[in-house]
Structure 1
Amino acid sequence: MSRARVFIASSLDGFIAGPNDELDWLSGHEGVEDTFTPFFQQIGAMLMGRRTFDVVRGFEGEWPYGETPILVATNRPLSTQRESVQGVRGNITELVDQAKQAARDRDVYVDGGALIRSAMDEGLIDELTVTVIPIVLGEGIPLFAGATRRHQLELLGTRAIGAGLVELVYAPRP
């Protein structure tokens, strides 16, 4: 059965992007291994917020998700040249269910601050991997601010990555 998983980086002060969606602070860390590729090899579909999609679409270089189905949660028209990308609507439970259907027997990657918080609030996230980057941004887009309730988490693992990054893997406690 598919699991809904989060894989995201956060500044030490809890931001996933700068105030203008900047992500430049994520790069340039010495000795950092590629942790995304092994994670993404387990993913059958991705549920992505529209704001996140707009930021990722602006990246230079190759599309980072190959032909993996990407479901973009949006209420606005979505134009894309990629057959693997489609706009979807509904409440968070419906969106996660659609992503699980698209993923078949593989896992679903939930990405985007608002989607992550909504999915957590509804008890739909099975695992969270948060990589803490050793930088204090001071302001930006918070990862968990706006959650509608408290979430108790169980630590599944930790790992130092490169020069000062720490990967934390959690599962929600029942």
Structure 2
Amino acid sequence: MKKIILDLAVTLDGFIEGRNGEIDWCIMDEDMDFDGFLSGIDTIFYGRVSYDAWGNYQPDENASPAEQKLWLAVHSKNKFVFSKQNREDNIATFVSSDITEKVAEIKKHGGKDIWLYGGAGLIKTFIQLNLIDIYRISVHPVALGDGKPLFEDLKERLELQLTGTNVFKSGVVQLIYETKK
């Protein structure tokens, strides 16, 4: 069965974005093998705001070949947008109700894993509904002091099992956890 993977950058002090939504602190090293991660998924889950910002993003003509390749890979995936707003879209399927049931149905289909892209509201919902199978948290060597925390308003303790770590030349440390179910 497919697994839902939260692959996310976080600051040393636990924020996924700054006070004003900034993510300019995120580092992308070639040794992070993001292409390898993308090759292991065939589906992306977005919140509506993140989808509107990034779901159809096209790098400009001056973008590096690596960036263009990355976005080509991202846009080749099946896309689901979780939103109270139900709309027609040629590229993505919108889900506006029964999240748990819809996710269970998607996971039963064959294929590769699912990337829970976000944004913050969708990640919070998936954490609260215990829908995330794997947490791939890349801790970046920066502290913001304020912003949107990863684990906000937890209703109960989240038990995780560390299954792997990676240290990258930039100083980013990736922690990989599976949920204890």
Q: Choose from 96, 117, 120 the match for 1:111.
A: 117
> Structure 1, unaligned stretches of length 5 or more?
none
Q: Is the 8 A contact 2:86 2:96 kept in 1?
A: no
**SS of residue matched to 1:154:** strand
TM-score (norm 1): 0.83
Q: Is the 8 A contact 1:71 1:99 kept in 2?
A: no
Q: How many residues align?
A: 169
Letter in 1 for 2:141: P
Q: CA deviation at 1:92?
A: 2.9
Q: Choose from 44, 54, 66 the match for 2:75.
A: 66
> Structure 2, unaligned stretches of length 5 or more?
60-67
The structure where helix makes up a greater share of residues is: 2
CA distance in 2, matches of 1:118, 1:110: 11
Q: Is the 8 A contact 1:70 1:86 kept in 2?
A: yes
Alignment of 1:116-155 (within 5 A): 116-155=123-162
Q: Choose from 40, 43, 58 the match for 2:41.
A: 43
TM-score (norm 2): 0.80
Residue of structure 2 in register with 1:160 after alignment: 167
CA distance in 2, matches of 1:72, 1:59: 15
Q: CA deviation at 1:32?
A: 4.9
Give % identity.
30
Structure 1 residue 17 and structure 2 residue 17: aligned?
yes
Q: CA deviation at 1:73?
A: 0.8
Q: CA deviation at 1:168?
A: 0.2
Q: CA deviation at 1:91?
A: 3.4
Residue of structure 1 in register with 2:63 after alignment: none
Q: CA deviation at 1:53?
A: 1.8
CA distance in 2, matches of 1:159, 1:13: 19
Q: Is the 8 A contact 2:43 2:77 kept in 1?
A: yes
Q: Between 121-130 and 159-168, report the one with greater CA deviation.
A: 121-130
Q: CA deviation at 1:154?
A: 0.6
Q: Is the 8 A contact 1:46 1:99 kept in 2?
A: no
**SS of residue matched to 1:46:** strand
Q: Is the 8 A contact 1:92 1:115 kept in 2?
A: no
